[in-house]
Chains A and B, each alone.
Chain A
Amino acid sequence: MGILDSKIPSGPLADKWTKHKNDINLVNPANKRNIDIIVVGTGLAGGAAAATLAELGYNVKTFCYQDSPRRAHSIAAQGGINAAKNYQGDGDSNYRLFYDTIKGGDYRSREANVYRLAEVSGNIIDQCVAQGVPFAREYGGMLDNRSFGGVLVSRTFYAKGQTGQQLLLGAYAAMNRQINRGKIQSYTRHEMMDLVLVDGKARGIIARNLVTGEIERHSGHAVVLATGGYGNVFFLSTNAMGSNVMAAWRAHRKGAFFANPCFTQIHPTCIPVSGEHQSKLTLMSESLRNDGRIWVPKKMEDAVAIREGKLKPTQIAEEDRDYYLERRYPAFGNLVPRDVASRAAKERCDAGFGVNKTGEAVYLDFASAIKRYGKEKALTSGIKNPDEATIIKLGEEVIEAKYGNLFQMYEKIVDQNPYKTPMMIYPAVHYTMGGLWVDYNLQTTIPGCYSAGEANFSDHGANRLGASALMQGLADGYFVLPYTIGDYLSDDIRTGAIPTDSEAFDEAEKQVRDRMEKLMSGTGIHSVDYYHKKLGKIMWNKCGMARNAKGLEEAIKEISELRKDFWENVKIPGTIDSKNQELEKAGRVADFLELGELFAKDALHRNESCGGHFREEYQTEEGEALRDDKNFKYVAAWEYKGEPKDAELHKEDLVYENIELKTRSYK
């Protein structure tokens, strides 16, 4: 199987994690005090890992580019977090969560990792409640659940439409407790510029203080990269403006393999693009698909009239609406997985049925949910024979209680009232399943360099199910990495502090300085954003929701040319040794310009359609994804060899011992 060893423990699936925890080496509490760990990124995965490692007794240094760990982009996750608690008694179990996740990921993730994820999911909810996370509750005082796409049970826990915020603030609070104890040193407004390897092991980082511009050296016995995804390679995405791939890409250049870069999630329910000035896209939570019905007009003339502003959606009769998800996928209806819902929206819009002025939008309609809830509320409130207006008023109140903050956000951005007229939505880049290759212990191919959360490739295969990102981030951070990293560190109890005056640190720092000086030396007229937007257009048009060989080949060529142009010409004002936001952006875009090419190369080599990766050449007669398990049932892990075009492919074959591979069907 080549040089990739996934280190999956032997034994029955359900026993692997317990057995592994019993088998691995531990570091005794006294020795933990002599071991330093660097955690880069303070979102759910990094924040949870930092807090837990510090509780265990390790000395932790955390780094984030934001001015506070609380601002990591996990904060923007809206809908919820999955856990196999079976509080609703609807037949949920660890196995079912495991099965749904593997199937949802279109059979491109590891059984053992995903089972472990399901196994610890319940612990996450227990832990968060103990931390004071205010999850939604029912009147009896018990926790409430909702449903998400791609599953037939209600296992999603939530805190209004701000679940990510509340979970992150929980991890942040746990971090604060350790900062107060002196066990975590928190470096905010700091960016990791490079990974430092000493004798082949990850032993530190070079960081830039974003306030002063100073270059700093930090050493540790291990480095954890929990730096999120790379969706901003598309320029427009639901990621934060600062979200970037720099830490992961720097590690990749130093020897960490990058896995499945082309597995990207395009989320079906985002607010459509309004114009050229747009800087980012805003998600409308998948939870809205619990109650919203997605449709476009059945008749082309109606669609045209709507686009021209001559017709309103509310004027279109029920029988003239095409609820295309309910039509195509009767079993799951509006709650099909994200990749399926996104492609179906694109199909309708490409066919000419889009409903906004750009032709790239579909409706998400709450009118029938408002009536349904209104009637129920009237009944339970003892109102006999309520009139239409009363029903709608009561129904709107129920919808407001469930999704009020999302509706408010929509109204602020679009300037339309979604209680009275359907929302307009369109797919947008949201999450990246690909990332640094890690083994079962979450260690990359560089000894001592670990990766957690969205930054690694594990668990979600080719498509992530809703409410599973929060679950994975916290599982990695609270319950997996703090155990597995001990096994590696048990060899380091006599190492002592790692000095930062070594040749390895000198060399890494020099490279960082040279790179920044080269960036500043551009002689052209265009800003960093100019290049980033150009890259984004190439990615969206040729590596987006549907891909083909010709487009991908063009993308590879165009990105490579753009990268050359960027390095010669990008214009960056200011200086290196002071606060300089343009320079910060330039460093990030430089790495996106390499990653983008590898992305296209990966998509080109994978001659199949699976999950979020849809190759037009490989589809069924009904337009569904056509997987090729015979030839592509593997993780594609790329080794850096200079230019992205020279990257070398290593395959980790995926072994399914417990699940039968099937064609994914949501009909």
Chain B
Amino acid sequence: MKLYLKIWRQKDASSPGKIVDYTLDGVEGDMSFLEMLDILNEELVSKGEEPVEFDHDCREGICGTCSLQINGEPHGPDRLVTTCQLHMRKFNDGDTIVIEPFKAKAFPVIKDLIVDRSAFERIQQAGGYISVNTSGNTVDANAIPINKHDADEAMDAATCIGCGACVAACKNASAMLFTSAKVSQFALLPQGRIEAVERVQNMVRQMDLEGFGNCTNTGACEVECPKGISLTNIARMNREYLSASLKG
């Protein structure tokens, strides 16, 4: 198929960017979206032009490196996939595709389609852990039985890949879904309860400091999340935060 691409090009963080038009022929349905961009880049390199830079690594939907706003949607039109698992069979011959970086104040552009998501790092560093040293003699793994339902729910929250689609999908650029996924995972496990009060307070404080917006419950994050992280995690974080505030 033949595609008309409109791609955001930006030299670096301090330069202005603009949309540049490219026409690409010979795209097949079995290609992934990133393989389509690989072909474009091969063409650009052979012409001596700088290729379009984009973030990607595992190309199997788990590392969370790839991003892209495709026709206005984070990770494109398909549901429950990252851009690397989006296949060209979802598009038609002659389509125009607009490809932009994830857009949020807290995610500044580094180059072309690559954004800086280190704000997510700092949120995790503020409290996304259980304070246990490596010793080799913590209690036996089966010493504390955990209700299967809670364990499964903790796992569902823990599957967040930290890609940032929730932020890019949100009209407020809120990071509530991302932050609440980690808060929920630990809130649901007995090991995580010990530090629950400090954790939610510290992570929310850092989230606010980074310049992410507030949650107005539109639910766009849940729709666009490639891992299907549920909105109920935000409700749980709000509960945790409120009860932490009362405990002071």
Q: Which of chain B's residues have a CB closer than 8 A to the CB of A132?
A: 130, 154, 185-186, 189, 191-192
How distant is the Cα of A280 from the Cα of B80 in the complex, in angstroms?
A: 20
State whether B58 touches A579 (Cβ < 8 A). Answer: no
B132 contacts A131, C-beta separation under 8 Å: yes
* Complex Cα gap A142–B144 (Å): 8
Partner of A66, one of B48, B51, B57, B81: B57
- CB pair A274 B30 closer than 8 Å: yes
Which residues between 107 and 160 of chain A lie within 8 Å of chain B, taking CB atoms? Answer: 120, 122-123, 125-132, 134-143, 159-160
Is A8 part of the contact surface with B, judged by Cβ < 8 Å? no
A134/B53 in contact, CB under 8 A: no
Q: Kindly list chain A residues whose C-beta atoms are within 8 Å of the C-beta of B124.
A: 70, 172-173, 176
Alpha-carbon separation in the docked complex, A180 to B137 (Å)? 24
A2-50 interface with B by 8 A CB criterion: 48
Contact B155 A68 (CB under 8 A): no
Chain A residues 45 to 97 lying within 8 A of chain B, measured CB to CB, are 48, 51-52, 55, 66-68, 70-71, 73, 75-76, 85, 87
A642 contacts partner chain B, Cβ-Cβ < 8 Å:
no
**Would A277 and B158 count as touching, CB distance under 8 A?**
no
A75-B154 in contact (CB<8A): no
Is the beta-carbon distance between B34 and A179 smaller than 8 angstroms? no
Enumerate B33-61 residues with CB–CB distance to A below 8 Å: 34-35, 38-39, 42, 44-46, 48-51, 53, 55-61
Q: Could you tell me if B136 and A123 are in contact, using CB atoms closer than 8 angstroms?
A: yes
Q: CB of B204 within 8 A of chain A?
A: no
Chain B residues with CB under 8 Å of A275's CB are 28, 30-31
Interface: B133 (CB within 8 A): yes
Assuming the contacts A67-B65, A579-B12, A579-B111, asked whether A140 and B145 have C-beta atoms less than 8 A apart, the reply is yes
- Hey, which chain B residues are within 8 Å of A399, CB to CB? none
Q: How far is the CA of A424 from the CA of B29 in the complex (A)?
A: 18
Contact B51 A573 (CB under 8 A): yes
Whole-angstrom CA separation of A471 from B185 in the bound complex: 23
Cβ-defined partner of A75 (8 Å) among B12, B63, B145: B63
Complex Cα distance A160/B156, Å? 10
Q: Which of A51, A55, A141, A160 contacts B155 (CB 8 A)?
A: A160
What range describes how many residues of B lie at the interface?
35 or more
Nearest CB on B from A410, distance (A): 11
Q: Is residue A174 within 8 Å, beta carbon to beta carbon, of the partner chain?
A: yes
CB of B209 closer than 8 Å to a CB of A? no
Closest to A172 in B: B124
In the complex, whether B147 has a CB less than 8 A from a CB of chain A is yes
* A623 on interface, CB distance cutoff 8 Å: no
In the bound assembly, the distance between CA atoms of A127 and B137 in angstroms comes to: 8
Contact A581:B45 (CB < 8 A) given known A68-B121, A132-B192, A162-B62: no
Interchain CA distance A135-B189 in the complex, whole Å: 11
* Chain A, residue nearest B159 (CB): A162
- How many angstroms from the CA of A525 to the CA of B154 in the assembled complex? 52
User: A165-B159, A274-B30 given as contacts; is B35 within 8 A of A76 (CB)?
Assistant: no
Q: Which of B77-125 contact A (CB under 8 A)?
A: 78, 80-81, 85, 87, 89, 110-111, 114, 116-118, 120-121, 124-125
Q: Which residue on chain A has the smallest CB distance to residue B123?
A: A176
Q: Count contacts on A: residues with CB < 8 A to the other chain.
A: 82
Cβ-closest chain B residue relative to A52: B134
Contact B162 A70, beta carbon cutoff 8 Å: yes
- Do the beta carbons of A143 and B80 come within 8 Å of each other? no
Asked whether A173 and B129 contact (CB < 8 A) given A240-B57, A279-B32, the answer is yes
User: Are B87 and A176 touching (Cβ within 8 A)?
Assistant: no
Query: Which residues from chain A contact B247 at a C-beta distance below 8 Å?
Result: none
Closest beta carbon of chain B to A128's beta carbon, Å = 8
A188 at the B interface (CB under 8 A): yes
Q: Does A169 have its Cβ within 8 Å of any Cβ on chain B?
A: yes
Q: Does A240 lie within 8 Å of B63, measured CB to CB? A: yes
- Tell me whether A71 and B89 are in contact (CB under 8 A): no
On whether A578 and B134 interact (CB within 8 A), knowing A67-B118, A129-B191, A277-B35, the answer reads no
With a cutoff of 8 Å between Cβ atoms, the chain B residues found around residue A240 in the complex are 57-59, 63
Closest-by-CB residue of B relative to A186 is B121
B246 at the interface (CB under 8 A from A): no
In-complex Cβ contact of B63 among A76, A136, A274 (8 A): A76
Residues of chain B within 8 A (CB-CB) of A527 are 42, 45-46
Inter-chain CA distance A139–B147, complex, in Å, is 7
The answer to whether B38 touches A166 (Cβ under 8 A) is no
Query: Is there contact, CB below 8 Å, between A179 and B125?
Result: yes
In the assembled complex, how far is the CB of residue A165 from the closest CB belonging to chain B, in whole angstroms?
6
Query: Is residue A264 within 8 Å, beta carbon to beta carbon, of the partner chain?
Result: no
A85 CB contact (under 8 Å) in B42, B87, B141: B141
The residues of A that contact B116 with a CB separation of less than 8 Å are: 67
In the complex, the answer to whether B85 meets A409 with C-beta atoms within 8 Å is: yes
> In whole angstroms, what is the CA distance A191 to B29 when docked?
35
A141 to chain B: closest residue by CB: B145
Q: Which residues of B contact A142 (CB under 8 A)?
A: 142, 145
What's the nearest-Cβ distance from chain B to residue A471, in Å?
14
| Residue A574 lies at the interface, judged by CB distance under 8 Å to chain B | yes
Closest partner residue, chain A, to B147 (CB atom): A141
B64–A71 contact, CB under 8 A?
yes
* A581 close to B132 (CB less than 8 A): no
Q: Are A139 and B148 in contact (CB under 8 A)?
A: yes
Task: Judge whether B151 is part of the interface by a CB distance below 8 angstroms.
Answer: yes
Given A71-B65, A180-B126, A409-B61, is A188 in contact with B34 using a C-beta cutoff of 8 Å?
A: no
CA distance A142 to B143 in the complex (A): 9
For A180, the chain B residues whose CB sits under 8 A away are 125-127
Chain A positions near chain B (C-beta within 8 angstroms): 48, 51-52, 55, 66-68, 70-71, 73, 75-76, 85, 87, 120, 122-123, 125-132, 134-143, 159-160, 162, 165-166, 169, 172-174, 176-177, 179-180, 186, 188, 211, 238, 240-242, 274-275, 277-280, 282-283, 408-409, 412-413, 415, 478-479, 482, 525-527, 529, 571, 573-574, 578-579, 581-582
What 10 additional pairs, Cβ within 8 angstroms, besides A66-B65, A76-B60, A126-B137? Answer: A67-B118, A130-B139, A132-B185, A137-B148, A141-B147, A141-B148, A159-B155, A177-B129, A479-B134, A573-B49
Residue pairs across A and B with Cβ atoms less than 8 A apart, 15 shown, are: A66-B65, A67-B118, A68-B121, A129-B191, A131-B191, A136-B155, A139-B148, A160-B159, A172-B124, A177-B131, A279-B35, A283-B60, A478-B136, A573-B49, A574-B50
Interface residues of B (CB under 8 A from A): 12, 28, 30-32, 34-35, 38-39, 42, 44-46, 48-51, 53, 55-65, 78, 80-81, 85, 87, 89, 110-111, 114, 116-118, 120-121, 124-142, 144-148, 151-152, 154-155, 158-159, 161-162, 185-186, 189, 191-192
What 3 A-B pairs come out closest when comparing CB atoms? Answer: A141-B145, A173-B129, A134-B155
